[in-house]
Amino acid sequence: MPVTEPIRIVIIEDEASIRRFLRAGLPTGEVDWHEAENAAEGVRLVAQKNPHVVLLDLGLPDRDGLEVLRELREWTDVPVIILTARGQERDKVAALDGGADDYVTKPFSLGELMARVRVAVRHGSRMESIVDPIFRSDGLTIDFSARQVWVDGSEVRLTPTEYRLLALLAQHAGKVVTHRQLLKEVWGPGFEDSTHTLRVHMGSIRQKVDPDPTRPRFIRTETGVGYRLMVG
Ligand code: CA
């Protein structure tokens, strides 16, 4: 994204206090900010402003946020970050499975939100360009064409299943990939609920690439939701 262009954001959120808190703290000159307080207005604003990112609250007065997401996904790939309340794990999962790119849990800091926004924007613009066959982040390198993985320059031997899981996380680096998405992509339809199997394989990947569980370098567990490969 060119540095001269501010990030255009549409927020769809009925709580005025949250909109006000965000508006007051936005980095000056970096953001072009547009607010909607209900679903109907929000969808209209997204069509009108063609934003780089949409921030979407799930509990809206006129319609469920998940329905809004579904409607947006019929015509736009704009990155959508969900704003959820604590304890709404099922909603987060449904939103990510429904095509949301990420979520933040209320109350969140502006710094955290803007970091997620930047990742989403980078990812959104990357989708249009040619995918680099080499993934690099911190000390982790993956060659998608040769299916090889290195940590700090040493090659790591993964089973085919482990490799596919790690590659999927890398393809969505910085974003949460849900248990359901991983199971569906790697094991196929019908295995979406085999979370125990997934946990076993993730544990094994971690032993190979991320052996210190107290200080994970690459893979973060999003409890009850999925996993995120950190962007270094
Ligand atoms: Ca709300």
Q: What pLDDT, on a 0 to 100 scale, did the predictor assign at position 168?
A: 92
Tell me: the pLDDT tens digits for 160-216? Answer: 999 999 999 998 899 999 999 999 889 988 888 899 999 999 999 999 999 887 889
> Which run of H or of E encompasses 35?
strand 31-36
Per the DSSP assignment, residues forming a β-bridge with 7 are: 31
The topology (CATH level 3) of 134-229 is Arc Repressor Mutant, subunit A (1.10.10)
Q: Which residue has the tokens 């000056």?
A: 28
In the three-class reduction of DSSP (H, G, I as helix; E, B as strand; rest coil), residue 20 is classed as: helix
Do domains 7-129 and 134-229 share one topology? The answer is: no
Q: What pLDDT, on a 0 to 100 scale, did the predictor assign at position 75?
A: 82
Tell me: the pLDDT tens digits for 18-38? Answer: 999 999 999 888 999 999 999
Q: Which residue has the tokens 């993985």?
A: 149
Tell me: the pLDDT tens digits for 33-48? Answer: 999 999 999 999 998 9
Q: Where are the beta strands (DSSP E) in 50-153?
A: 53-57, 80-85, 102-106, 134-137, 140-143, 148-151
What is the residue extent of each domain of the chain? 7-129, 134-229
Q: How far is the CA of 70 from the centre of ligand 1 (A)?
A: 18
In the three-class reduction of DSSP (H, G, I as helix; E, B as strand; rest coil), residue 138 is classed as: coil
Q: Which residues surround ligand 1, an ion (CB under 5 A)?
A: 14, 57, 59
Q: How far is the CA of 57 from the centre of ligand 1 (A)?
A: 6
Return d(Cα 101, Cα 227) in angstroms, integer. Answer: 13
C-alpha neighbours within 13 Å on the C-beta side of residue 220: 11
Q: How far is the CA of 59 from the centre of ligand 1 (A)?
A: 4
Q: How far is the CA of 21 from the centre of ligand 1 (A)?
A: 14
Question: CATH code for 7-129?
Answer: 3.40.50.2300
Return d(Cα 12, Cα 60) in angstroms, integer. Answer: 8
pTM: 0.73
Q: How far is the CA of 62 from the centre of ligand 1 (A)?
A: 10
Q: How far is the CA of 12 from the centre of ligand 1 (A)?
A: 9
- Provide the 10 A C-beta neighbour count for residue 211: 11
Tell me: the pLDDT tens digits for 104-157? Answer: 999 899 999 999 999 998 877 655 544 567 888 889 999 887 889 999 999 999
Q: What are the phi and psi torsion angles at 231 (to 5°)?
A: -95, 120
Torsion of CA 223, 225, 229, 232, to 10 degrees: -70
